[in-house]
């Protein structure tokens, strides 16, 4: 990443307000380097008719962002364009409005992260309840992703044995806890270090956990699930997906949420292994995206707030300060250096 800030004033704009935005300046071959990013100071225009101006408070970091940097992203989202501001989930406060649907002071979530200020049509922003959570950053949590994956893609049932990979991450930690709260008989997680595995069984209440570096995953999973597993919440792919297929019980269900193995190595994954096991056990493997199930947001939100009030769910969060720190933080996230949800506190 360029060490000095560059200036790029918006043409025809007389507003003195300035802010930072992050741009992709080179398409990486594999994992990006810091020099593939650029932090630029830009002049921020006032909102035109029908638009609002939002000061971002927090932005989300997501491993899937690496796939949007490549030349051929498999995700149902536009890839990042060279020289243009990147995007991602963010929460912010309306500081100027030229549309009656949103007012100054409203808290909103949107997809125009990677910048201090966002200016766009009012329809690009969704108002949220400022009092819903202790911090606005919780509106960026991946609990809904975990909930949808378990309840829709995996069709979780009371009494199931559930295995979650990358379980100390933002989605995995939520998936394991929600599975427990929804009646799973046993919840097992994998993580990238002994400390993270201990975190799962200690702080998050998993029944068993293992470090996936500690020998073959298949052996570790069989030890943790001697009676097999019914649901696999897959954030990783690769060896862990193949192990899960082997340990799955008949009519087991796999919810494919992420592909960290591919994102870390920047190489195509070699799939679930022997498809005869999938056939013989009559397994269901289902990919999903949150955008297909937004109708469950209100249902989940009510339950999540109750769980937080009751203390029955733990929300782990890592906060990184300042947009200039975001590229390095994204790389650190993919390398497994954080626990829970990772957000960037803007303007720091």
Q: What is the pLDDT along the chain (348 residues), one digit of tens a residue?
A: 553 444 444 444 444 799 999 999 999 887 899 999 999 999 999 999 999 999 999 999 998 898 888 766 666 678 899 999 999 999 999 999 999 999 999 999 999 999 999 999 999 999 999 999 999 999 999 999 999 999 999 999 999 999 999 999 999 999 999 999 999 999 999 999 999 999 999 999 999 999 999 999 999 999 999 999 999 999 999 999 999 999 999 999 999 998 765 555 555 566 676 788 898 999 999 999 887 888 899 999 999 999 999 999 999 999 999 999 999 999 999 888 999 999 999 986
Tell whether 220 is covered by a domain: yes
pLDDT of the residue at 5: 47
Q: Residues 116, 160: one domain?
A: no
Q: Residues 151, 70: one domain?
A: no
Q: Residues 212, 285: one domain?
A: yes
Radius of gyration for the alpha carbons in the chain, expressed in angstroms and rounded: 21
pLDDT tens for 210-236 read 999 999 999 999 999 999 999 999 999
User: E strands of 46-193, at which residues?
Assistant: 51-60, 90-97, 107-110, 117-121, 126-127, 161-164, 186-191
Q: Which residues contact 142 (CB under 8 A, 6 or more apart)?
A: 170, 171, 174, 341
Structure token pair of residue 82 = 């060279």
Q: Residues 120, 35: one domain?
A: yes
34 contacts 328 by C-beta, under 8 angstroms: yes
Tell whether 303 is covered by a domain: no
Q: Residues 24, 69: one domain?
A: yes
Domains contained in the chain, number: 2
Q: Residues 161, 274: one domain?
A: yes
What's the CA gap between 78 and 55, in Å, rounded?
Answer: 24
Tell whether 87 is covered by a domain: yes
Q: Residues 276, 203: one domain?
A: yes
* CATH number where 333 lies: 3.90.180.10
**By residue range, what is the domain housing residue 63?**
6-141+315-345
pLDDT tens for 238-276 read 999 999 999 999 999 999 998 765 555 555 566 676 788
Residue at token pair 């975190």: 199
Q: Residues 230, 150: one domain?
A: yes
pLDDT tens for 57-70 read 999 999 889 888 87
Tell whether 298 is covered by a domain: no
* CATH number where 267 lies: 3.40.50.720
What's the CA gap between 101 and 51, in Å, rounded?
Answer: 10
Q: Residues 217, 264: one domain?
A: yes
Q: Residues 135, 147: one domain?
A: no
């Amino acid at each position: 990443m360029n060490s000095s800030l560059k200036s790029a004033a918006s043409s025809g704009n007389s507003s003195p307000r300035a802010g930072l935005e992050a741009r992709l300046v080179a398409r990486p071959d594999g994992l990006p380097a810091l020099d593939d990013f650029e932090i630029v100071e830009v002049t921020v225009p006032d909102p035109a008719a029908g638009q609002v101006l939002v000061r971002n408070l927090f932005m989300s970091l997501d491993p899937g962002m690496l796939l949007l940097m490549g030349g051929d992203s498999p995700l149902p989202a536009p890839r990042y364009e060279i020289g243009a501001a990147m995007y991602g989930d963010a929460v912010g406060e309306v500081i100027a409005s030229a549309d009656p649907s949103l007012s100054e002071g409203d808290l909103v979530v949107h997809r125009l992260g990677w910048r201090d200020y966002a200016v766009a049509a009012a329809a690009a922003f969704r108002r949220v309840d400022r009092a819903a959570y202790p911090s606005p950053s919780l509106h960026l949590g991946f609990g809904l992703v975990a909930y949808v994956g378990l309840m829709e893609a995996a069709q979780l049932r009371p009494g199931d044995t559930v295995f979650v990979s990358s379980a100390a991450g933002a989605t995995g930690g939520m998936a394991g806890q929600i599975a427990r709260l929804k009646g799973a008989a046993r919840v097992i997680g994998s993580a990238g270090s002994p400390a993270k595995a201990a975190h799962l069984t200690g702080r998050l209440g998993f029944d068993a956990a293992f470090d996936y570096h500690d020998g073959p995953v298949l052996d570790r999973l069989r030890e943790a699930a001697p009676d097999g597993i019914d649901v696999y919440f897959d954030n990783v792919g690769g060896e862990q997906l193949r192990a899960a297929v082997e340990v799955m019980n008949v009519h087991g269900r796999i919810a494919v949420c992420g592909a960290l193995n591919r994102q870390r190595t920047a190489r195509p994954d070699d799939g679930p292994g022997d498809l005869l096991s999938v056939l013989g056990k009559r397994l269901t493997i289902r990919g999903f995206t949150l955008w297909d199930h937004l109708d469950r947001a209100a249902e989940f939100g009510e339950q999540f707030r109750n769980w937080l009030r009751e203390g029955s769910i733990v929300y782990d969060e890592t906060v990184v300060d300042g947009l200039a720190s975001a590229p390095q933080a994204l790389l650190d996230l993919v390398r497994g250096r954080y626990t829970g949800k990772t957000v960037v506190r803007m303007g720091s």
